[in-house]
A and B are shown apart, each in its own frame.
Chain A
């Protein structure tokens, strides 16, 4: 009954390769996110999708391409991996951001994918 799941949990690969990380949530949320947490533990948002539509796209190299086949899935594809891409990548989901009288959007995080680029 995992709420937010990611695969793989660990990913070790060579520089220049292309890799994907998958994320699925079974909470019925309509908004999903990708975060990157670097070695200094700073958690930084990369992308957010609401109902399969991209709503947040931070300053991220275009080697990173998110794909949302449906609102329960948000995958992250990374081309031409670089050493600096080594980090832990967290997927998260929430209800849509609150407007007045709406729900606040507590985010539920997946277990993380530790990516190591050699």
Chain B
């Protein structure tokens, strides 16, 4: 089976940096995704990691350690529009199925 854990809520200040952690347990790991979901909207793709290390994309970076079953999403120079839920999702090698965590609701304060 699979188990994905991430904090339920986080708060950060505009202009700062925040790190959202995700730990997972799954058989046949074949990639980890981060999605952003604003309230009332659809999830949108942010990043994908399948090898260990850091993937940087503008203000957002995602890190993966397969041996530790651990990933984080790093958001820099936070803006008010970054207030959203951030979903960690894991893909198993045996199927197209992606399993989502319950999401971390991030609130940005001025």
Stretch touching chain A among B18-26, B42-50, B72-80: B42-50
Contact A109 B95, CB 8 Å, known A41-B103, A43-B87, A44-B100: no
B96 and A31 within 8 A (CB):
yes
Q: Is B99 an interface residue (CB 8 A)?
A: yes
Interface size of B by CB at 8 A reads 23
Give the distance to chain A from B53, nearest Cβ to Cβ, in Å.
16
Task: Identify A45's interface contact among B45, B98, B105, CB under 8 A.
Answer: B98
Bound complex: CA A43 to CA B103 (Å): 9
Chain-B contact segment, one of A60-68, A79-87, A89-97: A89-97
- Compute the total of residue contacts between A and B using a CB distance below 8 Å: 58
Q: Could you tell me the dominant secondary structure of chain B's interface residues?
A: strand
Residues of A within 8 A of B100 (CB): 42-45
Most buried by A among B37, B45, B96, B97: B96
A residues contacting B by CB (< 8 A) are 31, 33, 40-45, 48, 50, 55-56, 90, 94, 96-98, 104-112
Please list the residues of chain B having a beta carbon within 8 angstroms of any beta carbon in chain A: 30-31, 33, 37, 41-45, 48, 50, 85, 87, 91, 95-100, 102-103, 105
Q: Which 10 interchain pairs have the tightest Cβ spacing?
A: A97-B96, A109-B42, A43-B100, A106-B45, A42-B102, A109-B43, A56-B97, A41-B103, A104-B48, A111-B42
In the complex, given contacts A97-B96, A107-B45, what are 5 additional A-B residue pairs having Cβ atoms less than 8 angstroms apart?
A41-B85, A43-B43, A94-B96, A109-B42, A110-B42
- Cross-chain pairs A/B with CB under 8 angstroms, 23 sampled: A33-B96, A41-B103, A42-B100, A42-B102, A44-B100, A45-B99, A45-B100, A50-B96, A55-B95, A56-B96, A90-B42, A96-B96, A97-B91, A97-B96, A98-B31, A104-B31, A104-B50, A105-B91, A105-B96, A105-B98, A107-B98, A108-B45, A111-B41
